Amino acid sequence: MPVKVLIVDDSGFFRHRIEEMLRDDPRLQVVGTAVNGKEAVEQVKRLKPDVVTMDVEMPQMNGIEAVRIIMREAPTNVLMLSSLTHEGARVTLQALEAGAADYLPKDIRAWMDKNSGVRSQLIDRLVALGRTRRFRQSSAFERSYPGREQKGTTMVFRPDETPPVRPSRTSPAPATRSSTTMSSADMRRSPSAPAQPSASGDSATTLASRVKFPDCKLVVIGASTGGPAALQKVLTQLPANYPYPVLLVQHMPKTFTQVFAERLNQQCQIRVKEAEDGDRLVPGQALLAPGGLQMMLDPRQKDRVRILVGDERMTYKPSVDVTYASAAKTFGNKVLGVILTGMGSDGCDGARLLKQAGSAMWAQNRESCTIYGMPQAVVNAGLADAILELDDIGPLLAQRGSR
């Protein structure tokens, strides 16, 4: 069945242009339009679309408030459309925090140009978001602290363990991997498994002891679709005295990365800033790769980053692959790579280089991802040392950093 799309925009031009872009793709079906946030909420409840395109600035009710109500009353994946201005970036990040899944810049020149690539970007995002369905179960950390919202199951790779047998309706043959997997539930069923999680937090400690964490000098985190909210959730768990420097690569345009870094810096105990050429690696500080450029480590001064234009043929600017590869070359087996939610496979090639150098890789699990693309590529390539629920990643990083 095609993905059902609701178009929300007070501009007749943009409503018509979006509908025109989607009209000939059999994977998508426009089921309705709305001209303001209030009407959008009503249409979502009545039409039950799979995904909504949402303008930010509209009369009666703006896009941010509409997203908040939709997420509360009729949860639906929302793709925000916003300008490339500083203010546009700020309100878009507010919409993502309110529950929107992703965004696209709303540059009228690009949207009028049939050769700009906007149509393919829009369709790819709508198809991916429209087909995303997340069913969550509680994770080890969530079960350790009763009363918190239940989330997905954390999976841990253990090369020295026997793979658990998992019942399935279709009973497919188990996938062969370079490492084996064990879930929190499997740990409890195994005769040698730790005791049931309790409110004391013992199970969280046990989980931490089972996840590979290298003799670390650097943490590198990559993300794309759904990344802003995921990064916020992870980084706000880290203490101000976190002992490692952190590099962040989030697929974003230039204006957005500057605003995003400022916002994270306000929310986190660690310092967060948009990286500049020559910035030092400092414990307790995260450097966010600037949009449109590549972030690498300086081969002559290992404690500094270089911000470069990079190869024009690269699809992603910034690219997780580029930063992972540079970290592997500079720090060898002293890196922890983390790959979070996102479309595509950026990060997989770089993860392979990190693993070849002896470093560790963590991947976000399917259940907690907005889009299980980038983590899936790493997992399917057999490069992940652990597949983790998003809510577990920050506490695990913080717990390891306190040792």
Distance CA 356, CA 383 (A): 10
Query: How many angstroms separate the first and last alpha carbons of the chain?
Result: 51
250-254-259 Cα angle (round to 5): 80
Instruction: Tell me the C-alpha distance between 223 and 319, whole Å.
Output: 10
What one-character-per-residue DSSP string does 162-181 give? PPPP---SS-PPPPP-SS-E
Radius of gyration for the alpha carbons in the chain, expressed in angstroms and rounded: 21
138, 251, 349, 392: the active-site residue = 251
| Positive or negative: CA dihedral 40, 41, 46, 47 | positive
Buried b (16+ CB within 10 A) or exposed e, 333-358: bbbbbbbbbbbbbbbbbbbbbbbebe
Q: Name the catalytic one among 102, 346, 349, 392.
A: 346
Distance of CA 10 to the CA centre of its chain: 30
Tell me, yes or no, if 215 is annotated catalytic. no
Select which of 224, 319, 345, 368 is catalytic. 224
Q: CA 149 to CA 391: how far, in whole Å?
A: 10
User: Kind and range of the H or E element at 316?
Assistant: none
Residue spans of beta strands (DSSP E) within 118-253: 155-157, 181-183, 218-223, 246-250
139 part of the active site: no
Active site residue 346: yes
Residue pair 377/349 in contact by the 8 Å Cβ criterion: no
Give the three-state DSSP class for 359.
coil
Active site residues: 224, 251, 346
